[in-house]
Amino acid sequence: MPELQFFEQLAAIQTGNHPRHRPQTEAMLAQVDPDKALKVFHAQFADFSGFTFSFVGNVDPKTLKPLVATYLASLPGSNGKAAWKDINVNWARGPVTKIVVAGSEPKSDVSITNTAPDTWSLDGERDAAILSKVLEIRLREVLREDMGGVYGVSVGAAIEREPKPRHQLEISFTCDPQNVDKLEKAAVDELAKISKDGIGDDYLTKVKEQLRREHETNLEENQWWVAAIHQAYWYGDDFNATNDVNAALSRATRDHVKAAAQHFFDPKHLVIGVLKPKK
């Protein structure tokens, strides 16, 4: 599986080959002590005092309450609180280019990543989501429709809060190996252009419509409610504020997109990975 080799080697570069991010191998599994693993598992479920349960869906509170009192309230708990620790992953900031040669199929995978320490904010998170959508639309036009070089482009921008706040922007696509260099350059050039000039109103209109439709769909999905409630509870956020679609729409402006592109994109710190087939 050449794609697996590519993503494993790229992950090693991006994380400084951190032990927790290394791929699982037969040799690694051979070192596992099954008895110790079972003890760890039992220890995690021997004390439920740090657990939080969320229920979403067609639930009658009157019916649920006695079930909670019977089956959850009776679980063992010592009022202890579990703690997690930072495993100190040193995320690569580049400039780095990693070429992986594997497989025989005439195609290449390309990954362009930018990451750096950051400070989380709700508006910053909204700007990241809007920038992702703007770039996905624009790069699809440039790389697929104008240059005919890719079937699709994936873009993701986000600000992570734990263990240390950091932002990351990743662009990935699959293409003909002969077109890697020009498509990679076109993607980076487009990012630089948006950082300088922002984006046109027609793109902002499309993004706003996407945000509205997604919000309407999310409100009908139990899984979205579970994830949104969990995040608000975990971080102590105001649920109504974090899921205010109108506040998100107000960030979809030329100036905000321009500032977000400048914030997330630094051409001096790109980590670029390319999968190329064997000749």
What pLDDT, in 10s, does the model give residues 213-243?
Answer: 999 999 999 999 999 999 999 999 999 999 9
For residues 132 and 76, give the distance between their C-alpha atoms in angstroms, rounded to a whole number.
44
Report phi then psi at 52, rounded to 5: -125, 130
> What local confidence, expressed as pLDDT, does residue 229 receive?
95
> Any idea how long the chain is?
279
Q: Is the pLDDT of residue 81 over 80?
A: no
Strand partners, 117: 166
Q: What Rg value do the Cα atoms of the chain yield, rounded?
A: 23
Q: How confident is the model at residue 44 (pLDDT cuts 50, 70, 90)?
A: confident
Cβ contact 153:173 at 8 Å: yes
Cβ contact 47:76 at 8 Å: yes
> What local confidence, expressed as pLDDT, does residue 65 receive?
96
For residues 170 and 158, give the distance between their C-alpha atoms in angstroms, rounded to a whole number.
9
Cβ contact 196:204 at 8 Å: no
Q: Give the count of beta carbons closer than 10 Å to the beta carbon of residue 138.
A: 20
Tokens of 77: 């708990």
> What local confidence, expressed as pLDDT, does residue 77 receive?
87
Q: Which fold has domain 92-276?
A: Cytochrome Bc1 Complex; Chain A, domain 1 (3.30.830)
CA distances (Å), origin 57, targets 225, 227, 237: 9, 13, 22
Q: How confident is the model at residue 16 (pLDDT cuts 50, 70, 90)?
A: very high
pLDDT tens track for 122-180: 999 999 999 999 999 999 999 999 999 898 899 999 999 999 999 999 999 999 999 99
**Percent of the chain whose predicted confidence (pLDDT) is above 90:** 88
C-alpha distance across the termini of the chain, in Å: 16
> What local confidence, expressed as pLDDT, does residue 42 receive?
92
Domain ranges of the chain: 19-72, 92-276
Report phi then psi at 59, rounded to 5: -115, 130
> What local confidence, expressed as pLDDT, does residue 47 receive?
87
For residues 18 and 144, give the distance between their C-alpha atoms in angstroms, rounded to a whole number.
35
pTM metric for this prediction: 0.91
Which residues are CB-neighbours of 262 under 8 A, at least 6 positions away? 195
